[in-house]
Amino acid sequence: MTRLRADNPQGARQALAERFRAWSGSEFDLSRCPVRGVLDRLGDKWTTLIVIALSQRPHRFSEVCRAVPDISKRMLTQTLRDLERDGLIARRVFPTKPPTVEYRLTELGESLLEPLVTLIAWAEGSQTRIAAARSAFDAASAAA
Amino acid sequence: MTRLRADNPQGARQALAERFRAWSGSEFDLSRCPVRGVLDRLGDKWTTLIVIALSQRPHRFSEVCRAVPDISKRMLTQTLRDLERDGLIARRVFPTKPPTVEYRLTELGESLLEPLVTLIAWAEGSQTRIAAARSAFDAASAAA
DNA sequence: AGACCAGGTCTTGATTGTAGACCATCGAAA
DNA sequence: TTTCGATGGTCTACAATCAAGACCTGGTCT
């Protein structure tokens, strides 16, 4: 199987063509689509911020709470659980008097940092163009 | 400003550290975080599949409908609009007898393919490990 | 006329995300 | 000794979002 490559735009298109054919073959089983699962997780508003925070060093529960502003404890707990379930972070409990719980990225979690940085780089490089497109679109919509 | 680099795991961590400090500086304005906007869009279940479909060639509305299984017309319309608003795809109407509408990636949309392929490659390479982690986690949860 | 297609919009539930209150334990302070 | 705050959560209720399917506006074919 050919490896996915993203050396250049053409390569990206061809790599996608290949994946696309593979997925469309037979009958596109959604459960076999790994992108869906990953993007669902990454897209859920807090995951990325938590991963970024943990990429710096292990955090305790309340450290993450402070590092990620506006997140509720409810959502923090749930997001950490999901991340732990997927093997991206590890949870360790120390039996201190006020219990200490530490969360850290696993090796798998660290391997996610590279694609994530690629995406962040794109986002930062494209944000002005996206903002411009939005303004133009909204202006055109308002006119009509 | 230093460019984000992802040549290696250390680089990824350092690049994130840099971004993280930049964002945390002053008071972390969420609207200034471009990643959030991008991931919200990518994470919304259909966007990625549509972008992948359009990466192969321009599609008509009903072609996309057939290419992306199980999407309702409602969601397809909405997702295409959002994508168009962000300047990632372009919509062109041809005044044929039954009107023909074509959707294609813009240059900006094509530039998204590279980070997307990077992410897909990670997802494909990691899916077995993620599945294993999930099984282990669920087994441990069931035991408790 | 009746049936069909394109390219949508609208209405109406079901699913999911989120906030904020609440809980149990411990140590320190008053 | 009562109260306070911190830690690491859970529970409940509400709101936004998703999705299905009916409906609409042309136009063409038969």
Task: Enumerate domains of chain A plus CATH numbers.
Answer: 31-143 (1.10.10.10)
pLDDT score, position A32: 55
In whole angstroms, D2 C1' to A62 CA is 27
CA of B35 vs C1' of D14, distance in Å?
28
Question: How far lies A70's CA from each of A100, B33, B56, B68, B78, in Å?
Answer: 22, 14, 40, 35, 28
Nearest nt (C1') to B96 (CA)?
Answer: D27
Q: Is the pLDDT of residue A29 over 60?
A: no
Q: What crossing angle do the helices spanning B107-143 and A73-85 adopt, rounded to 10°?
A: 90
Asked if residue A56 has pLDDT above 80, the reply is: yes
Quote the percentage of chain A above a pLDDT of 90: 39
Mean pLDDT across the stretch A49-54? 89
- What mean pLDDT do residues A124-137 have? 91
CA distance A104 to A90: 5
Residue-averaged pLDDT of chain A: 82
* pTM for the structure as a whole: 0.84
Mean pLDDT within B6-16: 66
pLDDT at residue B30 greater than cutoff 60: no
pLDDT band at B26 (very low <50, low <70, confident <90, very high): very low
Report pLDDT for B20.
62
In this prediction, residue A89 carries a pLDDT of 95
Strand ranges of the sheet holding A100-105, from the earlier edge strand across to the other edge = A59-60, A100-105, A89-94
What whole-number percentage of chain B has pLDDT above 70? 80
Contact A101, A60 (CB under 8 A): yes
Which of B63, B119, B127, B128 to mutate: most A Cβ within 10 Å? Answer: B119
Residue B98 has pLDDT above 60, yes or no: yes
Pick among A1, A2, A3, A4 to test the B interface (most B CBs inside 10 A): A4
- Report chain C positions within 7 A of protein CB atoms: 5-11, 17-22, 25-27
Alpha-carbon distance B26 to nearest alpha carbon in chain A (angstroms): 13
**Close Cβ partners of A72 (under 8 Å, ≥ 6 residues apart):** none
Sheet containing B59-60: order of strands:
B59-60, B100-105, B89-94
| pLDDT higher than 80, residue B101 | yes
Q: In this model, does residue B111 exceed pLDDT 80?
A: yes
Task: Give, as ranges, the nucleotides of chain D with any atom within 7 Å of a protein CB.
Answer: 5-12, 17-22, 26-28
- Angle of helix A9-24 relative to helix B47-56, nearest 10 degrees? 110
Among candidates B30, A94, A71, which has minimal Cα distance to A63? Answer: A71
Q: How confident is the model at residue A27 (pLDDT cuts 50, 70, 90)?
A: very low
> What is the CB neighbour count within 10 angstroms for residue A14?
17
Give the per-residue pLDDT at B22: 63
Element (H, E) at A90: strand A89-94
Handedness of CA A132, A136, A142, A143 (dihedral sign): positive
pLDDT digits (tens, 9 = 90+) for B129-143: 999 999 999 998 877
Do residues A97 and B45 make contact, with C-beta atoms less than 8 angstroms apart? no
Q: Torsion angle, CA of A79/B28/B120/A27, rounded to 10 degrees?
A: 60
CB-closest option in A19, A53, A110 to B9: A110
pLDDT at B72: 87
pLDDT in tens, A72-119: 898 999 999 999 999 999 999 998 878 899 999 999 999 999 998 888
Q: Are A115 and B115 within 8 A, CB to CB? A: yes
What residues have CB less than 8 Å from B136, skipping those under 6 apart? A87
pLDDT band at A2; cut points 50, 70, 90: very low
Exposed / middle / buried, residue A72 (Cβ in 10 Å: 0-12, 13-18, 19+): exposed
Enumerate residues near strand D (beta carbon within 7 A): A 60-62, 73-74, 77, 91, 98-101; B 44-46, 70-75, 97-98
Q: Are B100 and B94 in contact (CB under 8 A)?
A: yes
